[in-house]
Chain A
Amino acid sequence: MSIPLVPELLRKHLADLADSDMRIDGRGRFESRDISLEVGILPRAEGSARVQMGNTIVLAGVKFQLMTPYPDRPNQGGLMCSAEVRPVAGRSWEPGPPSPQSIELGRVVDRGIRESGCIDVDELCIIPGERAWQVILDVFAVSDDGNLFDAFALAGIAALRSAIVPAERFEIGEDYPLPVSKTPTMCSYHRVGGRYVLDASKKEELGGDERIHITLGDDGHVHSLQKGLKGIFTTAEFEEIMEHAIERCAELRDLVNNAIEK
């Protein structure tokens, strides 16, 4: 990823806006852009979702493969989550091997889903020591206008929730929905103009500082945290956004549930 030029005027303007408790696109501090979430949009994937938040658009697709369980875990299948931000998604995303930014994105999304335990890898085992399912979640950015993290996490869990295990195609029984016991969701906060805001746009990311990603499970349990970029924050600041995240993650969970029920 190339580092775009940060205009000084933008930083200053964002600080002025923050002083008046405003944001560059008129949103409130903890107001997200409108989110649209659709599932089942990729015919070749066993589970899929599309998320749009403003001009940020991402896709997620779930594929299944058969694997031989690892010798030390003969009763377990596998879960793999991979994010690749290809240069289609924006001017600053450049071709070449995955950038550290894109790897961080994939790993943070992966941890949130994996550590929540929403997929029981024991259930993915078909014949212990011989055959098991490997679930592969690929998230893909179509258009990056800021906050790919939340978009990826939301599309990722929705795609998993909608996935059907293609047992028939592999001739091992009937197709069945992938058991997903929990719905972890992520909220990201960016320091813009000196204070944290929810769901930063590209302009705010460009003229902002550090970011914090919080993934919470069904019961509000914390499953993954990540602080990214250069910056210093206080306990009080973190407490404030955590309090907000508890509420927001629950709203996102409802969004996923509604999309799946449709």
Chain B
Amino acid sequence: MGGYGDVQMIDEKGLRMDGRKPSECRPIEIETGVVPVADGSARVRWGLNDVIAAVYGPMEAHPRKIQRQDRAVLDVRYNMAPFSTTDRIRPGFNRRSREISKVTAEALESVVLLELYPRSKIRVEIEVLCAEAGTRCAGITAASAALAHAGIPMTDLVVSVASGKVNGVVVCDLNKEEDNYGEADLPMGILPNSGELVFLQMDGDLSQEDFKIAWDYNMEAASHIHEIMARALKGGDA
């Protein structure tokens, strides 16, 4: 969080630079079947974010040493394509991607019924094609839609969204500028049917009161995103 106090990101009407109200999300579209050769796939377009997730498996886990006798291994990779940001990203090892892959795997492991497929592996590949703040949230959301699309049994979907604070105002779903110059960022992974959490991070500076507001914004946004995801999965008219 940069904390540049001189960057004005909330106008006198209380609206944000892109015209949103503090509690409002950027437009979201979810689409499934975008990687035809995968067992399941989804694409989430969220503001300028464009994230795809593909699922392969359950299949035999190789090498043998990674096999678990009692459950499947969930192998999650989050990656940003070289052309997904303003400055090109060099392909290869990256500490940020590793951490996001790990927390994403742990969030999804909380809902996938892994015990049904002992000794096998389920691969989840998240690729950010275009990034505009909140790619980890878009990634988790896309991955859970792709898992459902692949017919992998799971107790609930996972939707993820971040709220934060800019110019002293708590706002939902930070865009790029707000993320760069804001004071705080609180991404959460929420089970929409139960309101429980499987993913939580935060950095920045939030008062207890602001923290509560950000939390509630995320919960509200989650049910909105869930509605869009459920429609994509059920093939209802868009």
Residue of B nearest to A140 (CB): B81
A42 pairs with B129, CB closer than 8 A: yes
A86 touching B37 in the complex, CB below 8 Å, given contacts A45-B83, A91-B59, A138-B81: no
Q: Does A143 contact B (CB under 8 A)?
A: yes
B66 CB → nearest A CB, Å = 12
Q: Does B226 contact A (CB under 8 A)?
A: no
A19 CB → nearest B CB, Å = 29
Q: Does B48 contact A (CB under 8 A)?
A: yes
B127 pairs with A138, CB closer than 8 A: no
Q: Does A178 contact B (CB under 8 A)?
A: no
B81 pairs with A61, CB closer than 8 A: yes
Complex contacts, A257 vs chain B, CB 8 Å: none
User: How many Cβ-Cβ contacts under 8 Å join chain A to chain B?
Assistant: 89
B82 pairs with A86, CB closer than 8 A: no
A90 CB → nearest B CB, Å = 5
A142 touching B88 in the complex, CB below 8 Å, given contacts A61-B83, A88-B127: no
A88 pairs with B88, CB closer than 8 A: no
B38 pairs with A143, CB closer than 8 A: yes
A91 pairs with B37, CB closer than 8 A: yes
B231 CB → nearest A CB, Å = 23
A48 to B50 Cα, complex, angstroms? 14
A200 CB → nearest B CB, Å = 15
A136 pairs with B88, CB closer than 8 A: yes
Q: On chain B, which size bracket covers the interface? A: 20 to 34
Q: Does A202 contact B (CB under 8 A)?
A: yes
> B66-91 interface mask toward A, CB cutoff 8 Å, 1 = contact, 0 = none?
00000000010101011111111001
Q: Which of A32-76 contact B (CB under 8 A)?
A: 42-45, 48, 55, 57, 59, 61-63, 65
Q: Does B36 contact A (CB under 8 A)?
A: yes
Interface of A is mostly: mixed
Complex contacts, A65 vs chain B, CB 8 Å: 87-88
A95 touching B77 in the complex, CB below 8 Å, given contacts A43-B130, A44-B130, A136-B82: yes
Q: Does B26 contact A (CB under 8 A)?
A: no
Complex contacts, A142 vs chain B, CB 8 Å: 34-35, 52, 127
Q: On chain A, which size bracket covers the interface? A: 20 to 34
A48 pairs with B125, CB closer than 8 A: no
Q: Does B211 contact A (CB under 8 A)?
A: no
Residue of B nearest to A59 (CB): B129
Q: Does A99 contact B (CB under 8 A)?
A: no
Of the candidates A82, A88, A90, A143, which one forms a contact with B91 in the assembled complex, judged by CB atoms under 8 Å apart? A82
B146 CB → nearest A CB, Å = 10
A42 to B130 Cα, complex, angstroms? 7
A62 pairs with B127, CB closer than 8 A: no
A138 pairs with B37, CB closer than 8 A: no
Complex contacts, B85 vs chain A, CB 8 Å: 44
Q: Which of A236-257 contact B (CB under 8 A)?
A: none
A84 touching B91 in the complex, CB below 8 Å, given contacts A45-B83, A95-B77, A144-B37: yes
Complex contacts, B81 vs chain A, CB 8 Å: 59, 61, 138, 140
B125 pairs with A63, CB closer than 8 A: no
A48 to B77 Cα, complex, angstroms? 24
Complex contacts, B117 vs chain A, CB 8 Å: none
Residue of B nearest to A80 (CB): B88
Complex contacts, B123 vs chain A, CB 8 Å: 87
Residue of B nearest to A97 (CB): B92
Q: Does A89 contact B (CB under 8 A)?
A: yes
B56 pairs with A91, CB closer than 8 A: yes
A48 to B67 Cα, complex, angstroms? 40
B131 pairs with A44, CB closer than 8 A: yes
A74 to B52 Cα, complex, angstroms? 41
Q: Does A145 contact B (CB under 8 A)?
A: yes
B105 CB → nearest A CB, Å = 13
A45 to B34 Cα, complex, angstroms? 21
Complex contacts, B84 vs chain A, CB 8 Å: 42, 44
A87 pairs with B83, CB closer than 8 A: no
Complex contacts, A95 vs chain B, CB 8 Å: 75, 77
A117 to B75 Cα, complex, angstroms? 43
Complex contacts, A88 vs chain B, CB 8 Å: 35, 38, 52, 54, 125-127
A202 to B75 Cα, complex, angstroms? 24
B36 pairs with A145, CB closer than 8 A: yes
Q: Which residues of B contact A (CB under 8 A)?
A: 34-38, 48, 50, 52, 54, 56, 59, 62, 75, 77, 79, 81-88, 91-92, 123, 125-127, 129-131
